[in-house]
Amino acid sequence: MGSKRIAVLGSRHVPITHQNLIEMMTYALVLSGNRVITSGATGTNSAAIKGAMRADPNFLTVILPQSLDRQPSESRQQLEKVMHLVENSSNDHLSLAEASYQCNKEIISRCQQLVCFAFHDSGILLQTCKDAEDQRKVVTLFYFD
């Protein structure tokens, strides 16, 4: 199968049991030689960062929707330990929703596969999945509801 660049994205509002599953999944993906790309939000992305960092920090890239200082303080402590961190300070003037959508588009452009955890009303995430499918990426979408 070989290694892939796999984007892991999802909702901020994730029960702790699901966060543990996401962490274990990204841990296993990195241990199998895959590179993980995610963003810096709490919930899904934070769990993905935790799992990838535990396996091998070199195989993790985090792309932020805005600059690091615009991230919530609970995220910042974790993000400061990430080796491959991309800040998008040029998006600081945008709303978080707009910046997140732009960030997700950048993440999709860098991956071969997308694993997404969403609710049926997660507009930005569902649009990101559609964009990834339009680019012929492999998309695996898990719903929390």
pTM for the model? 0.94
User: Average pLDDT, whole number, for the chain?
Assistant: 95
Residue 1 has pLDDT above 70, yes or no: no
Digit-coded pLDDT (tens) for 83-129: 999 999 999 999 999 999 999 999 999 999 999 999 999 999 999 99
DSSP string, the chain: ----EEEEEE-S---HHHHHHHHHHHHHHHHTT-EEEE---TTHHHHHHHHHHHH-GGGEEEE-SS-GGGS-HHHHHHHTT-SEEE--GGGTTS-HHHHHHHHHHHHHHH-SEEEEEE-TT-HHHHHHHHHHHHTT-EEEEEE--
pLDDT digits (tens, 9 = 90+) for 5-53: 999 999 999 999 999 999 999 999 999 999 999 999 899 999 999 999 9
Measure the CA–CA gap between 56 and 71, rounded to whole angstroms: 23
How does residue 74 score in pLDDT terms, banded at 50, 70 and 90?
confident
Q: For residue 78, what pLDDT is reported?
A: 94
